[in-house]
Amino acid sequence: MPDIKCKVLVIGAGPGGYVCAIRAGQLGLDTVIVEAERPGGTCLNVGCIPSKALIHAAHEFHKLGVFAGRGAIGITATSPAIDFGATQKWMAGIVKRLNTGVAGLLKRAGVRLVAGTARFLDGKTVVVDTVDGEQRIRAETIVIATGSAPVELPSLPFGGAVISSTEALTLDRIPARLAVVGAGYIGLEIGTAYAKLGAEVTIVEAEDRILPQYDEALTAPVRKRLVKLGIAIRTAAKARSFKDGRLELEGAEAVEAEKVMVAVGRRPRTRRVGLEELDLTMEREFITIDDRCRTSMRGVYAIGDVTGEPMLAHRAMAQGEMVAEIIAGKNRAWDKVAVPSVCFTDPEIVTVGLSPAEAMSRQIETSVDQFPFQANGRAMTTEREDGFVRVVARADDSVLLGIQGVGEGISELSAVFALALEMGARLEDVAATIHAHPTRGEAFQEAALKALGHAIHI
């Protein structure tokens, strides 16, 4: 096979890599992208998209169950049932549509997609194992976007009944009993979905509370809901081993389970990429980057999960877009005020910018206030009044430093929260903006008004 020569070579077609390649192509750079599996990466194939589809299906099914039981708001349903095979087919259909979409976008931008696993030979050359043999590619600039993979616990290796999120998203039937190790993003999102689908779910968390990365005020409504859904929570407990359907724990009683999903974090995919051929500065297994995503080697960039926290698709995409522009000669650097994070639990959690504790640890004097959904008309009309929106503003000039919230459907407010921070909005700007009624967004305006000392609806 003749060698390929190009200006930009991107390794990995996840959200980081494919966005980088599309933007590079749009900018007229001769670009090649290599992907070992399917375009779209973790997010689109075994992450964000299928998990949110599963969460949606589970939510809809659970709702019918509520109506069947109590006839809430005057609606009754009889004997709701789920054909999980059909649900899986529907989920796979969405993923396939997006795979095809990403491949089409790459093509339209003039990017060549090479299918196979890439390994570095040196800082300018990789060799790709393709179905037709080895393909060498030489590039002026290389972008590493190889993403991440689930962390495996030595005491609970993946295989058989012990699964990662990847297998949990493609189960052929709903397990009667599911144990989830790790009450982080994945454990709670997927664990809640299976509980709504009828599985008996137990969540095991090493720390003394669920979602330890968030403050307790934000996680309390989620915990309450987990309990309401019948999910057992074992905190300050570590999984020790799994044998004969029993998950032995350190710090708590053993759990009977048909399947055990281990979701204790993700590690960068830097093994078997030939990184030893390069002279890259690493922090543990993550690739160290600067504010332009440059690695310690000239002409080699790294983006996305492989560069560490926060391991989120939209951060990877933003880095990918920026790097393509830098390679094209534009003057760009990472100047984002905040990366929003959304946890798609029930209710959902959104955080953007600084929490009250983070602001305090930086010795910033703040004005913090929150508005509960209990006083929001829209929340009442949807029967979900749990949660609140909280604002954190600088005390002296009321510039917003952080916005957090928990509530049903609050993920959709993450955009307006992030926009407010990026635009340097003050409490007065939010308070003076007309928010349509009745919407959950009004809780943002009311939180700002409350911080200014004159909330209307509370």
145 contact choice in ligand FAD, ligand NAD, none (CB below 5 to 8 Å, kind-dependent):
ligand FAD
342 binds ligand NAD (CB under 6 A): yes
Check binding of 157 to ligand NAD (CB under 6 A): no
Of 93, 138, 81, 101, whose CA–CA distance to 15 is shortest?
A: 101
Among ligand FAD, ligand NAD, none, the one that 183 touches (CB under a kind-dependent 5 to 8 A) is ligand NAD
Residues β-bridged to residue 181: 204, 262
Say whether residue 308 binds ligand NAD (CB under 6 A).
no
Q: Is residue 43 within the footprint of ligand NAD (CB under 6 A)?
A: no
Residue 402 is a binding residue for ligand NAD (CB under 6 A): no
Nearer to ligand NAD, 171 or 263 (CB): 263
Q: Is 314 a catalytic residue?
A: no
Question: Which backbone phi and psi does 283 adopt, to 5 degrees?
Answer: -120, 110
Asked if 276 contacts 179 with a C-beta cutoff of 8 angstroms, the reply is no
CA distance 240 to 244: 14
Candidates 33, 181, 193, 418; binder of ligand NAD (CB under 6 A) is 181
From residue 131, alpha-carbon distances to 36, 99, 119, 161, 199 in Å are 11, 20, 15, 32, 41
* Cα 302 off chain centre by: 19
Nearer to ligand NAD, 143 or 349 (CB): 349
Nearer to ligand NAD, 141 or 307 (CB): 307
List the single partner that 153 binds among ligand FAD, ligand NAD, none, CB under 5 to 8 Å by kind: ligand NAD
Please, what is the Cα angle at 174 between 208 and 183, to 5 degrees?
Answer: 15
User: Contact, 128 vs 117, CB < 8 A?
Assistant: yes
Residue 449 touching ligand NAD (CB under 6 A): no
* Among the listed residues 21, 186, 293, 324, the single contact to ligand NAD using CB under 6 A: 186
Q: Cite the beta strand spans of 85-132 per DSSP E.
A: 112-115, 117-122, 125-130
Residues interacting with ligand FAD, by CB under 6 A? Answer: 11-17, 34-37, 41-43, 47-48, 51, 117-118, 145-148, 165, 186, 269, 273, 304-305, 311-314, 316, 344
Q: Which is catalytic among the residues 56, 314, 435, 437?
A: 437
Specify the DSSP element, H or E, that contains 391.
strand 388-394
Q: CA-CA distance, 113 to 116, in Å (whole number)?
A: 10
- CA distance readout (Å), 44 to 56, 91, 112, 211, 403: 16, 11, 20, 24, 27
Residue 135's binding partner among ligand FAD, ligand NAD, none (Cβ under 5 to 8 angstroms by kind) is: none
The answer to the question of residue 206 lying near ligand NAD (CB under 6 A) is yes
Residue 264 as a binder of ligand NAD (CB under 6 A): the answer is yes
Residues that bind ligand NAD (CB under 6 A): 153, 181-187, 189, 204-207, 212, 238-239, 263-266, 310-312, 341-344
Enzyme catalytic residues = 437
